[in-house]
Chain A
Amino acid sequence: MNDAPRFSKRQIIYAVVAVVWIVSPLFLDNYQTDVLNTVGLYAILALSLNVILGYGGMFHMGHAAFYAIGAYTTAILSTQFGVPTMWTMPIAGILAGVFALIVARPIIHLRGDYLLIVTIGMVEIVRIAIINDAVSSAAKFLNKGFMLLGIQDWALCEKIANASTGGPNGIFGVAAPSIFGFEINGIVNTTHYFFLITAFLAATILLFFLLERSRYGRALRYLCSDEIAAEGSGVNTSGYKLSAFVIGAFWAGMAGTLFAGKITFISPTSFTFAESVTLFMIVILGGSGYIPGVILGALLVVGLPEIFQDFQKWRMLVFGIVLVIMMVLRPQGIMPPKPPKYPIHKVDEREVTL
């Protein structure tokens, strides 16, 4: 009786894309799969930024700071404390989230462009702290505290006292992640890592899709489209924004674990401001606030330059130009979200001034 197709055109396209993505390592060599891994990792990171930037509407350009905190947490716990890499993942997320909570609390009320500048300052401070090995100084301080308490010959204390980010040299030898005793080495066998990344990406998409559809996600979105109205009707705007910030940071911290586990070596050069800009660009170019748009953005910004190797040198220049052209011609991104089903009634300004 029912003639309507069971699946919409859009859903079929997504299903095809997903299938192509999953079977692609069969046809690709090690290097090409590695490029896909990088695209997947950036897609996860960009989706976590999308919670802050796309749903929350906050111009946050310091996402590399959270990512760095996650990656360094994993690297330090793995190499200096011997914790299995996958176990460090929640800790990395929580630390990044707590950091976000502390730094975002006082700055969350700032207007868009000022927030942008402050988050840039934040990512720079984090990078300088890593280069100057703030962890080592903090560990020594902590150790003095332990000594005052009289617990100095405890093995863990000694490990804590020696914890370090490695300064500008970074940390070598992060253990490859293993699941149920099965080691997934991103350098030796990129296909194994591909499935780890894909699983995490799928979980990310599902989670943020549910978040988007939830009461919380809707509230966040409407709040970002008209903050004054939301504030006026008694919505706790800074609470919503802060929680979006913490969710995004938490997820970026976990992605940091995947990154550290993938390349087994991290240094401050992996978390520069350019990294934040790349993530920002993925979200803005792809379509902020729309999950397929963000993934498309990751594919374009990270994947394309790998295909055109000669293009590497010109990459940033071209992206800069594209960014400007996009802002002039199509500021909503290549694949923006559909307008909400129940649009907010826009009051004609001329009516109000009468």
Chain B
Amino acid sequence: MEQFFQQLTNGLAIGGIYALIALGYTLVYGVLKLINFAHGDLFTIGAFLGLSLLTAFSLTDKLGFAMGVGALVLMIVCLVGIIGILLDQAAYKPLRTSPRLSAVVSALGMSIVFSNAIMLVFGPNPQVYPHGILPTSVLHIFGLPFPVKRLLLLVTSVVLMAALYFFIQKTTIGAAIRAAAIDQDAARLMGINVNLVIMLIFFIGPALGGAAGVMVGLYYGQIKWTMGWLYGLKAFTAAILGGIGNIPGAMVGGLLLGVIESLGSAYISMAWKDAITFVVLILILIVRPTGLLGERVAEKI
């Protein structure tokens, strides 16, 4: 029972991270119907920027971190968001009217560019985050152990997700994003600046991904230039699991995938952990391509 709870909380914590990355896929897919393959690498950029800034401002002790955390996360979020906008302008904007698969190849190219740029700048070896920033204490609730680190991670991602959800559902800009997702041409006719909406989603998505990158660095303590690839694929699986283009879907899918993966690696096999995700991905696409919360739409190939 204790092991089950450990795995469950771990799964939820890591699932929260998947969900944050998945939101980036879902936002872009919702409006542009494009799988942004480079998104996972934006997440890695967030992780590396986080490390650079942490060491640059020597926020390595708990107090310094607590004070600087807000500013730091904000900085990374903005930086990664701006990189996201630049990515769109360079690689996707010229391809708005071309066949969708050209854009997919372009996205793949950008993914290769980003990951290799990180490798050239930071070197091919894994980088280590400073220790002891997140508390190592364990809370006991109803006799069950809850490591504070995990709770912190889960709460942060849930707060970020909730903020995004209210932004999309309750604000005028959110309404514009939703309108552009339904029909870009009609939205344009209603006076919505669709280009601005696209810039906005290319800011928000990567920004959340960048935040997730910092969280992974803090949680696992180690980051590598290739990690965006695996996290990206897992987050994409999470987005599909929940129904791509659907924001609550990405959240549910992320948490669910984290739990599936965590329990799977504990009860099936640790070595096959990553394969579990891909099996889930393939099964969903075969059985229910619209995901858990997605609705069936008529497809024009």
Q: State in angstroms the CA–CA spacing of A314 and B95 once bound together.
A: 26
**CB of B160 within 8 A of chain A?**
no
Query: Looking at the complex, which of B9-17, B77-85, B129-137, B273-281 is the stretch in contact with chain A?
Result: B273-281
* B-side interface residues, number (CB < 8 Å): 42
User: Interface of chain A, helix or strand or loop or mixed?
Assistant: helix
- In addition to A323-B108, A327-B103, 6 A-B residue pairs with Cβ atoms within 8 Å of each other are A112-B101, A114-B289, A314-B120, A320-B112, A321-B109, A327-B91
**CB of A28 within 8 A of chain B?**
no
Is the CB–CB distance between A313 and B120 below 8 Å? yes
Q: How close is A318's CB to chain B, nearest CB, in angstroms?
A: 9
User: Interface of chain B, helix or strand or loop or mixed?
Assistant: helix
Q: How close is A125's CB to chain B, nearest CB, in angstroms?
A: 5
The 5 A-B residue pairs whose C-beta atoms are closest, nearest first, are A323-B109, A320-B112, A320-B113, A121-B278, A317-B116
**Looking at chain A, what size class is its interface with the partner chain?**
35 or more
**CB of A111 within 8 A of chain B?**
yes
A265-299, CB under 8 A of B: which get 1 and which 0? 00000000100010000001000000000000000
Q: How close is A124's CB to chain B, nearest CB, in angstroms?
A: 5
**CB of A219 within 8 A of chain B?**
no
Q: State in angstroms the CA–CA spacing of A331 and B104 once bound together.
A: 12
Q: State in angstroms the CA–CA spacing of A317 and B113 once bound together.
A: 5
Is the CB–CB distance between B275 and A323 below 8 Å? no
How many residue pairs, one in A and one in B, have C-beta atoms under 8 Å apart? Answer: 109
Asked whether A228 and B112 contact (CB < 8 A) given A125-B279, A327-B102, the answer is: no
Q: State in angstroms the CA–CA spacing of A132 and B265 once bound together.
A: 14
**CB of B56 within 8 A of chain A?**
no
Q: Which chain A residues lie closer than 8 Å to B282 at the CB level? A: 107, 118, 121-122
Q: State in angstroms the CA–CA spacing of A131 and B275 once bound together.
A: 11
Is the CB–CB distance between A323 and B274 below 8 Å? no
Supply 7 A–B pairs (Cβ within 8 Å), ascending by A: A107-B282, A125-B275, A128-B275, A314-B120, A317-B120, A323-B108, A328-B94
Q: Which chain B residues lie closer than 8 Å to A131 at the CB level? A: 271
Q: Which chain B residues lie closer than 8 Å to A110 at the CB level? A: 285, 289
Most chain B CB within 10 A, of A113, A132, A327, is at: A327
Is the CB–CB distance between B281 and A118 below 8 Å? yes
Is the CB–CB distance between B286 and A107 below 8 Å? yes
**CB of A86 within 8 A of chain B?**
no
